[in-house]
Amino acid sequence: MEKLFKDLKTPAIFLFFLITIIACDKDFIVLESDVLGKDKANFVTNSSVINVTAYNKKLDSLQVNGLHSNLLGVFNDPSYGKTIANIITQVTPSSFNPNFGEDPVIDSVVVNIPYFSNEIDNDDDGNLVYKLDSLYGNSTQKMRLTIYQSNYFLRDLDPNSTLGGAQNFYSNTNHMSSSVLTGSDIVNFDNHIITTIHNDTEFLPSANPIVTKTGTGDDEKVNRAAPAYRVALKSSEDILYWTNTILDKEDDAVLSNANNFKNYFRGVYFKVEPINNDGTMVLLNLASTSANITIHYTKGEADSRTQSTYVLNFTGNRVNTFINDFNLVPLQNGNKELGDEKLYLKGTSGSMAIVDIFGNQENLETFLNTFRIPDGNGGYEKTSDGEYILKRLINEAHLVLFEDETIYNLEDANNDAFHKYDRVYAYDIKNNTTTVDYQIDQIVNTQSPINSKIISLTQRDTVTGKYKIRLTQHLNNILLRDSTNTKIGLVLSNNVNRIENAPILNSNDEVTAVPAAAIISPRGTILHGSNASVPDEKKLKLKIFYTEPN
């Protein structure tokens, strides 16, 4: 625990808070309480282990529009295989019915999309130095990036919905194409290309700040902004394309409102291709206010030209596509009865695990009999408030998970710990909500998600590859209030603060949605499962620490 506190650099008040509520495997407090039984007494602590059943669930047809951020690039997972992520997005003018002025001439068109980055230092001149938060794979491997104008209309409403429901787009990872499912059709975006907007044969995300200059001579100003994908289009072909596409439409209805424009200019398609079968993957912040396409132009008479801009924002529908070639691990649905030997947690519409704590009604009743006081009539004693009286009080309960040995000592292409920033996220698959323990976990860090919710979802042990998922309140609710014994879903996440869900198209399974953050977490891990073949010291299990009368 000292290592956990040191790494997190938590303020002293939080250290005290953690010490008082985190139950370690060996340290417990003897309590005096009238919570248990009928008479006051001293209590001692003890522990038990419940062998749970955990199995795999292969994922596909996950909603991939409406994500809070988007992946772009190529990622070779050392345990799974390759994923290629592309983006198709609508753009919307920042203003309508523009007046471009007299004789407008485009100077350049700048595409700018911020990366997620952190300020980590200052250089010798006092300028900020940045580190990209979400860069995956070989950070030195260039890729081919082509930006196309797309002719596919990313409609807002589903024409097959009788209630005018929203049109969602779902992953189609069973096909080796940049495609999605709409519920009735397969859309391959390669079949909807109009023209090439830009072609970069050496695309490589960079942590360098964006430096721009304005003015000349003594009036020159140097501006620095956080790292972003930024490209200036200013060839004669670029100028002609954007003049024909935007400036020449000044009095046209296509620039009069958002609906007309989105039907006219239907979208931008960012497509990457690996070089030497490799590349780099990065998370783009297309929702940023500085994510846009800016047309820089001059206007006016020859002796009095002025500069102006027209901005297209990346607002509207946006879709991430994933091409998964998981040739190293055959992902499939697991054994619900016996559990699986290994559990595969993989993002980009890959795989998750399900934990069935009791498995069947008989096991649940054994658990209830162990912790509740029988009333002699086949039921259990209750308080005046209707809660069950317990003969054992759960102080701490958590799932213990161990990464497979081939995973926890992996380093990425940059010699950095492979799972340094990853967390195992748990959720209630029946209700598609966070666990109760997550909800009452008061430790929230919006700037550094690795340090958020560390009571309910502990951080990965860098020595043993162990994770712990706290289910104390989950079990207490079952014991005290007969709450439903729901199954727990496990996914890999690089931001446990994000709890919104992505539905599964036409799910006929117990899993109907997954946390959206898991979709854009490209890495994958492998855990030891619950099958009888797993060595006991590595097996996934539920540990319960409880108090009972002496």
One DSSP character per residue, 304-340 reads S-EEEEEEEE--S-EEEEEEEE--SS------TTT--
CA distance 526 to 12: 35
Residue 403 DSSP symbol:
B
The model's pTM: 0.90
Asked whether residue 92 falls in the same domain as residue 34, the answer is: no
Residue 93 forms part of a structural domain: yes
Q: Considering only the C-alpha atoms of the chain, give the largest distance between any 2 of them, rounded to a whole number of Å.
A: 100
CA distance 62 to 64: 6
Asked whether residue 515 falls in the same domain as residue 410, the answer is: yes
> Chain-centre distance of CA 46, in angstroms?
38
Residue 104 forms part of a structural domain: no
Say if CB 310 and CB 98 are below 8 A apart: yes
Task: Check residue 38 and give its pLDDT.
Answer: 47
Say if CB 377 and CB 397 are below 8 A apart: no
Residue ranges of E strands in 204-305: 210-214, 221-225, 228-233, 267-274, 280-284, 292-299
Which tokens hold the place of 457?
A: 């979802």
Asked whether residue 252 falls in the same domain as residue 396, the answer is: no
Residue 312 forms part of a structural domain: no
Beta bridge partners of 290: none
pLDDT in tens, the chain (550 residues): 333 333 444 444 444 444 444 444 433 333 334 445 445 556 788 999 999 999 999 999 999 999 999 999 999 999 999 999 999 999 999 999 999 999 999 999 999 999 999 988 888 888 899 999 889 998 899 999 999 999 999 999 988 887 878 999 999 987 889 999 999 899 999 999 999 999 999 999 999 999 988 777 777 788 899 999 999 999 999 999 999 999 999 999 999 999 999 999 999 999 999 999 999 999 999 999 999 999 999 999 988 999 999 999 999 999 999 999 999 998 999 999 999 999 999 999 999 999 999 998 999 999 999 999 999 999 999 999 999 999 999 999 999 999 999 887 888 776 778 888 889 999 999 999 999 999 999 999 998 899 999 999 999 998 889 999 999 999 999 999 999 888 999 999 999 999 999 999 999 999 999 999 999 999 999 999 999 999 999 999 999 999 988 7
Return the residue matching tokens 């043993």. Answer: 464
Which tokens hold the place of 364?
A: 């649940």
Residue 215 forms part of a structural domain: yes
Residue 68 forms part of a structural domain: no
> Chain-centre distance of CA 123, in angstroms?
32
- For residue 271, the SS3 value is strand
Asked whether residue 321 falls in the same domain as residue 338, the answer is: no
Sign, CA dihedral 466-472-473-474, equals positive
Return the residue matching tokens 């799932």. Answer: 399
- For residue 523, the SS3 value is coil
- When divided into structural domains, the chain yields a total of 2
Asked whether residue 155 falls in the same domain as residue 282, the answer is: yes
Residues contacting residue 285 through CB under 8 Å, at least 6 positions apart? 69, 113, 114, 115, 116, 291
At position 517, the amino acid (one-letter code) is: A
Asked whether residue 166 falls in the same domain as residue 156, the answer is: yes
Task: Check residue 173 and give its pLDDT.
Answer: 85
CA distance 15 to 373: 36
Task: Check residue 274 and give its pLDDT.
Answer: 97
Domain ranges, residue 271: 81-97+116-291+317-325
Asked whether residue 253 falls in the same domain as residue 342, the answer is: no
Residue 189 DSSP symbol:
G
Residue 301 forms part of a structural domain: no
| Final residue of a structural domain among 303, 325, 347 | 325
| Final residue of a structural domain among 309, 325, 341 | 325
Asked whether residue 260 falls in the same domain as residue 367, the answer is: no
Residue 110 forms part of a structural domain: no
Asked whether residue 232 falls in the same domain as residue 357, the answer is: no
Asked whether residue 349 falls in the same domain as residue 436, the answer is: yes
The kind and range of the H/E element at 472 are helix 472-481
Asked whether residue 321 falls in the same domain as residue 337, the answer is: no
Return the residue matching tokens 């407090």. Answer: 29
Asked whether residue 508 falls in the same domain as residue 521, the answer is: yes
Residues in the chain: 550
Residue 76 forms part of a structural domain: no
Q: Would you tell me how many other CB atoms lie within 10 Å of the CB of residue 1?
A: 11
